[in-house]
Amino acid sequence: MATEDIYDELVAANKILAHFEVVDAYGHVSARDPKNPQQFLLSRSRSPELVDRADIVTYGLDGEAIEPKGLPGYLERYIHAGIYAARPDVNAVVHSHADDVVPFSITKQPLMAVLHSSSDIGLSVPVWDIREKFGDKTNLLVSKIEMGHDLAKRLGKNTVVLMRGHGFSCGGDSLYQAVKIAVYLPRNADILTTALRFGEPVPLSQGEIDAMGAMDPTSPAARRAWEFWCSKAGVKTARL
């Protein structure tokens, strides 16, 4: 995919996530630069619903802007930098503060995949607690690259990591997969919360997760979902 195509896809991803309230004034989504895997593309510090092509800045894996454009960046761009540096297989990252997910970051109840469309989150979801390495006097924001590296270490080979009292970050092999994970993760969390009131939930098994796998982003089903999301968000369908 050409860089120009990924710009349109990234703008669409911002607006999709905003429409489905995965992000609000805060939160962000990025994509690895298809022309240079040592770089990634991320909007300047702007609410996702308002992001357009002119807002997109190129960053290095240290989290610093390669083409600053004189625009302020997201403070937590180091989340993206840390994950891209640790995971060559990840081509898109989303960071969100979705309310339905946060309770699972502050209790001993694990977040499990119970919804078939959330199979991408895997069998278990680790929790990163900033206190463990950086003490109890931070503002809970990933504001330097060392924090980004530590977060990525806790993510490990998973697709999602919860951030204690903060939200979640997820990575996908494409913008489609990262957006899909981010859209369905809060729904999965809400369904699990409801199920816990009734008794012991039955999570997806490893076999079921493996069978469903990550949907091919070029498949008709993936294109249908992307077109639907773009339509709901009121944006022209970006190439997928």
Rounded-to-integer distance, Cα 188 and Cα 194, Å: 10
Distance CA 23, CA 19 (A): 8
Q: Largest alpha-carbon pair distance within the chain?
A: 54
Residues serving a catalytic function are: 76
Q: Which residue type occupies 132?
A: E
Tell me how crowded residue 121 is: count the other CB atoms within 10 A of its CB: 24
CA-to-CA distance for 188 and 193, rounded, in angstroms? Answer: 9
**Residue 100 and residue 187: Cα distance in Å, rounded?**
8
67 φ, ψ to 5°?
-125, 80
Residue with tokens 């300047």: 44
Report the run of H or E that residue 161 belongs to, with start and end: strand 160-163
